[in-house]
Every structure is written in structure tokens, then in C-alpha cells.
Structure 1
């Protein structure tokens, strides 16, 4: 997966105020790509943008809650009016939810819906709002940040380390659904040259995993997978599911 010369491309990253999202934004900015940092939390979003600017990045920051259509539409208008197009969309925003409330046999359906609303429906909302801007790009790319927990193959493998992760009715199925959605967008948009892929950043030291699972990798290492897929050339893959080692089994 070699990279094209990046030029002055424009990227938008959801949930970019911390963790993997922030590191994705930072690595894209280091490549000379203009980055639109989006997140719900005003203070954290503004702080993240300021830190990236201190490093020399060309950065914009916009309020965006993927579950709030008015902010999604406002973010698309901002990009349209200020930048004119979008080359890269990284759908990173996601929530884990209360693990105990997602136990399948006693699932809190409101919690499950909340997880799906952000991790699945939010991706549809943002992607569709940004598609007109992506269609103006010479090299449009969409990267959906999913999880190894979205792999049905690995979840069902009794010898895989994921077998030790608690059973949940929300988060893993939402990521499996996101994987399936990625394939459907890739099918529809292939003829338009829009490459759409899902990435598993792996277990990283972030707010989501800290205290829940044992992890050995940094958020920056997880972000590198997304950046690689966000900058693939025109002959790169589409409709795939990747981690740092290559293709992940569905």
C-alpha cells in the first residue's frame, strides 16, 4: 500500500479530540494534509486543534456530534464554504458503552441503541453529508475505524485472545455491522473512484481500553493503520478490513 504524493489534501476526522482520532489527525497533519478536527466536546476539540497547530499543522476545528444531524450538516457546510472539498474522511468517533449493561442475556436495550447510534448510524450520517464534498476530490478516501471485535471469525475462534473479552450485545455487533456497511459503500462508490475501507487499530492505550483490557500498543500505532488506508493510491484496495499485519478475517 504505497502512498501517493499528498499535496494539499484535506481530511476530516471525527472524534479527533483524543486517543486514536487525535493521533490520526496528527499523523495526517505531519504529511502536510489540512485536517479538520471534529468532536462533541468544545474544550477538548479546541485544545486538540491548538496542540496540532503548535506542531505546524494546517488545522481547522468544528463541532460535530455524529448523533446530531444539525451538527453533521453544519460541519459539512463549514468544509464546503471554507475549503471547497474533502479528500479524506476518517469515521473514528465511537463509544464503548457500559459493558455490564450489554451482556446479551440481560442487555439494556437503550444502551445497545446508544452504541449503535454512534458506532453505526453516526457513520452513515457523516458519510452521506460529506459525500458531495468527497466527489469533488481527485483521490477520495473513506476510512471507517472498526475493531477486531467486529470479526465474527475471530470472535468465534476459541483459540483467539478475543474469546476472553466479555460477551456484549452492543459494541461488537455494531462494529460487525460497520464492517458490512463498509463493504456496501465500497460497492456503491467504486465506480466513482472513492475507496472505502475498515481498519482495526488493535488494542491501544486509550480511554476506551484502559482499565478494561490489557494492551501493549500506543494510540499512535493504532492510528498508523488508518493513515495508511487514508493515503492509498488509486489502485489500492476498497471494501477491505485491515489491521497493521494485513487483512483481517470477517
Structure 2
């Protein structure tokens, strides 16, 4: 983990502090603890808990975020522990996250899970796309109306809910290519047609896992991403988007009952 944070270099069995690690070592213990806590909070290590924190918070006029200790103790216990590195942040019943820290938390790069060795590029690209759409939608007038529901239930047939005006269901697709090309599961196709006017697809192209998410997000926005398809079913019905079956479900046929007469 220290290596992923840029504090440690490793070569074989040899370990040594990086330049940033040497700098952190020279800090007083309170400041070093706070910097380490911030690196963990904004580096994707606790992405799921960070998402729960920002969805639980209300923002005051100064930009500070507040949530109940009891809520975070249940939803984000490790994040709650790290927030104690900021003096006065965790009170008896209320947590107050300073505006500068909250701004860093409410970003795509805090919400993208770190890729695991057995995780393919496709899943990592998809995670980026979802984080980018979630962040974009939260820039609207009512951030509390945005919920990244697929992280808690992946059987819904979409990724994000926007309850700003009624219910809008957003399915996010992402690719390293610029061509609009994505796959729908059988469940996504069914849900998209069940209530077509509320089902939207966000498509992000040109995603490059070698790029830092903060810079990439801004660059993709300048390129016009995401491409948004309101009412996906209508796009499929009038062939603005063309869906081609790519596989068949095959099962063994039920044998005819044996006659006993």
C-alpha cells in the first residue's frame, strides 16, 4: 500500500523511502497522520465507503460537509476512523468534514476502485465510466438526489439513479475506443423497455487506464463525453442505435413424458 501511495520504492527484497516518503517522515506526527489519511481517502482504497459518506452528507454555506456519527459508523467505519486525523472533525454526534477535504472526496478519483491483479481492463474501464458519470451528475442542482445504486445491487439493470425530477435510471457504458459500441445484458434490455422514458445511457469513449483520472475526466468532458442517449428503447426501435444479438441461451429440451399405458 505504501508503494501505491508513492511513499515507498521496492526492488526485489529491497525497500526504501521515496522522495515523498522522506518528506512525510520529516513531518510532525499529527500532520503526517493527516496526510496519510487524506491519501487513503482520495486514492480509491476506500472508494465504496467514501461514496456512502458523500451521499450521507449535507453541505453548509461554507462548503463544509456534515453527517451523523451513527450513520458513518455503520456505513463507513474506516473512513470515520481516518477523519479523526482532522482535529474537531468527529464530534459526539456530528461529523464535520472541512470543505477542502470534502472537495477532494467528492471527485471521480476518490470513487474509482484500485484495480486488482486478476481484474481485466474492461472492468477497470467500466468503473471509471461509472465514476465519471456519477461525479458529473452530482454537479447538478441536487447532489443528494444522485445514487450510485449498482455498487449495492448489481441486478437492477442500471448503475445510477437520479431522483432530481422523478426517477431517471442511468446505465453507464465505457470503452477505450471512440466508436459508440457497447453491450446490453438481457436484464438491461428488459429494464430499458419496461419504462423507456426514464432509462438513459451514458457512453464514455477514449478511456485510457494509463492516464490519471482527474486529468482524463476534464479532457473527456472537453471532447463532449459522455454521449447521452435519452430513452434508449426509442433509439433502438427507430434504429438510431442498432442492436445485434451476439449469443443464444441453449438448454437441454425437456424430454417427453414416458407413457405407462
Pairwise same-fold verdict (TM > 0.5): no
Larger Rg: 2
Which structure has the highest helix share of the two?
Answer: 1
Higher relative contact order (CA 8 A, sep 6+): 1
TM-score (norm 2): 0.29
